[in-house]
């Protein structure tokens, strides 16, 4: 049974509570659309997603089927139960107006960025700047080269590919459908994504 | 135990007992702060003892925190070869601006941080520069340890236990500055290296040995939280040895320094930083 079935427009934020045992399926409708993703314990949002704890619990810096998304005290929040892409990023964080000025130049200051979405959508749930930490970037391709070079490169997703996340407890998911246009994370053309929650 | 105590059954006796301890302990404990820092016996080469602002040896499993002026240099030394300095950095004057590890590695296109790299805040500015690194064994991806996982791996993760979790130590250090667990983002660690292989798997490298040092330069008024405890990927039974922390007054990176222009991203970060500091009357 579908509890939620919605399309998040290009560049928009989105959030939902996903109850323990429910499954959130995210579909990359247009292909190579980065979905910046944070997840919190719905009852105690000080327990929030932790990228370091998540990769401590597995043998790779990439996320895919079987990855357990852990909170900052190492507790499981969600598990990746299906993934048609193969790997996703949790090292690169979210784009912001501020980091855009460093990466591309001051001319990008006026542009929309994921942190704007996280602040706006998080604020609706009482979350603020201190609650924003290194996030997941579903569908974003961020290799680490042998010399340590890390970069956002052309994606490996395609239109219609999906992934599914099972909630291990009641969680609040906060998403920014990434508006970035200065790197290939959205194929230079932000597109909508579909969110379906099933029991 | 003191030899001059006349018993602690009275306030006078308890006072005499307490006051005798400093002299009795002299030389007996290696892990302690030296106050004033100018009394530190071996300042780094070229540093006037009077310029020293912090000198401390932090025990394995211990923590410290430093609030320092812009320009201050902070040197961390792995004295015995098995320190791991987990570090968080905040703007001292506005601690809601803080280290952002993801931006630090993404903006600089590099996950293996060393001398010449910058610790970036979430506001597109430089908190500190790495100006010296004789270790080369650092990690910006795996954060610190948690109580739950240390309990699972070692049987204990409490701050005062045998195998303290970095997050428990950070929580205490942060609390001294009225910051809470919500204010602890992912951290960096120095002296225990991790490399990522071609498949994205971590390879724990361990330390570069006793004596390796890393020197940070504060580019803003800076709060540093330092937890010295085993790295989360260290496969050995819990191992953590003392960390020396020295700090001395100095100058921040100037526009004339090579580091300012080393990369376009770094240059813009320095420009953003001095623009903000100038507006606040700080620089």
Say which residue the tokens 């400093």 belong to. Answer: B22
- Is B27 within the bounds of a domain? no
Rounded CA-CA distance B151/A125 in Å is 32
> Which range marks the domain in which residue A55 is found?
2-198
Percent of chain A, pLDDT > 70? 100
* Distance (Å) of CA B200 to CA A7, A10, B203: 32, 30, 10
Residue B28 or B80, more confident: B80
Q: Tell me which DSSP letter residue B114 carries.
A: -
d(CA B156, CA B139): 24
- For an interface test with A, the pick among B182, B263, B266 (most A C-beta atoms closer than 10 Å) comes out as B182
The helix/strand/coil state of A137 is: strand
- A56, A98, A129: residue with CB nearest B149: A56
Q: Searching chain B, which residue's CA lies closest to the CA of residue A91?
A: B102
B275: burial class by Cβ within 10 Å (0-12, 13-18, 19+)?
exposed
Is the pLDDT reported for residue B43 higher than 80? Answer: yes
Q: Do B109 and A151 touch (CB under 8 A)?
A: yes
Q: Do A73 and B146 touch (CB under 8 A)?
A: yes
Region B49-69 average pLDDT: 98
- Round to whole Å and give the CA distance between B262 and B174: 33
Per-residue model confidence (pLDDT) at position B6: 64
- pLDDT tens-digit profile of A128-163? 999 999 999 999 999 999 999 999 999 999 999 999
Report the SS3 class of residue B99: strand
CB pairs < 8 Å spanning A and B = 131
ipTM higher than threshold 0.90: yes
CB proximity list for A62: less than 8 A, separation 6 or greater:
A87, A88, A89, A90, B200
Distance CA A69, CA A50 (A): 8
Counting beta carbons within 10 angstroms of the beta carbon of residue B11, is it exposed (0 to 12), middle (13 to 18) or buried (19 or more)? exposed
Q: Return the residue in B122, B199, B264, B273 with the most chain A beta carbons within 10 A, the one to mutate for interface testing.
A: B122
Residues A48-86: tens digit of each pLDDT: 999 999 999 999 999 999 999 999 999 999 999 999 999
**Between the CA of residue B248 and those of A158, B223, B253, what are the distances in Å?**
54, 14, 15
Confidence (pLDDT) at A4: 97
- CB burial class (10 A; 0-12, 13-18, 19+) of residue B203? exposed
* Number of domains, chain B: 1
CB distance B124–A53 less than 8 Å?
no
Number of domains in chain A: 1
Cis peptide before B36 (omega within 30 of 0): yes
Task: Tell me the mean pLDDT in the region A189-198.
Answer: 97
Identify the band that residue B29 occupies on the pLDDT scale cut at 50, 70 and 90.
confident
B244: in domain: yes
pTM higher than 0.90, yes or no? yes
Q: Whole domain around residue B214: which residue ranges?
A: 53-252+259-278
């Amino acid at each position: 049974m579908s509890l939620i079935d919605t399309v998040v427009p290009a560049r928009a934020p989105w959030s939902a509570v996903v109850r323990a045992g429910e499954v959130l399926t995210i579909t990359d409708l247009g292909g190579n659309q980065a979905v910046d993703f944070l997840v919190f314990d719905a009852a105690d949002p000080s327990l929030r997603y932790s990228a370091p704890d998540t990769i401590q619990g597995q043998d790779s810096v990439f996320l895919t089927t079987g990855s357990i998304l852990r909170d900052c005290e190492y507790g499981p929040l969600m598990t990746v139960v299906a993934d048609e892409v193969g790997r996703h990023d949790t090292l690169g964080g979210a784009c912001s107006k501020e980091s855009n000025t460093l990466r591309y130049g001051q001319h990008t200051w006026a542009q929309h960025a994921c942190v704007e979405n996280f602040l706006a959508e998080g604020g609706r749930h009482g979350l603020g700047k201190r609650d924003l930490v290194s996030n997941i970037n579903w569908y974003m391709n961020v290799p680490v080269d042998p010399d340590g070079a890390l970069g956002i490169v052309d994606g490996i997703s395609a239109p219609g590919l999906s992934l599914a996340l099972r909630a291990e407890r009641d969680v609040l998911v906060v998403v920014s459908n990434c508006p970035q246009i200065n790197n290939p994370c959205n194929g230079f053309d932000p597109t909508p994504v579909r969110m379906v929650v099933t029991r | 135990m003191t030899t001059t105590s006349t018993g602690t059954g009275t306030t006078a006796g308890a006072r005499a007992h307490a006051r005798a301890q400093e002299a009795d302990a002299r030389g007996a404990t290696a892990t302690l702060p030296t106050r004033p820092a100018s009394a530190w016996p071996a300042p780094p080469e070229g540093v006037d003892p009077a310029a020293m602002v912090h000198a401390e040896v932090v025990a394995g499993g211990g923590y410290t925190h430093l609030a320092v002026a812009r320009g201050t240099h902070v040197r961390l030394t792995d004295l015995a070869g098995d320190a791991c300095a987990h570090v968080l950095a905040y703007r001292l004057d506005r601690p809601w601006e803080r280290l952002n590890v993801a931006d630090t590695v993404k903006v600089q296109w590099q996950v293996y941080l060393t001398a010449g790299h910058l610790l970036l805040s979430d506001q597109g500015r430089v908190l500190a520069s790495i100006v010296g690194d004789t270790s080369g064994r650092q990690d910006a991806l795996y954060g610190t340890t948690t109580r739950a996982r240390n309990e699972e791996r070692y049987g204990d993760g409490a701050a005062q236990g045998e195998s303290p979790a970095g997050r428990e130590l950070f929580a205490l250090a942060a609390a001294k500055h009225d910051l809470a667990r919500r204010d602890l983002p992912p951290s960096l660690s120095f002296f225990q290296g991790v490399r990522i292989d071609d498949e994205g798997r971590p390879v724990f490298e361990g330390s570069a040995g006793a004596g390796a040092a890393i020197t940070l330069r504060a580019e803003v008024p800076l709060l540093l939280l330092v937890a010295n405890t085993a790295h989360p990927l260290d496969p050995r039974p819990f191992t953590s040895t003392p960390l020396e922390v020295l700090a001395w007054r100095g100058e921040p990176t100037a526009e004339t320094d090579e580091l300012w222009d080393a990369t376009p991203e770094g240059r813009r970060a320095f420009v953003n930083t001095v623009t903000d500091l100038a507006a606040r009357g700080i620089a």
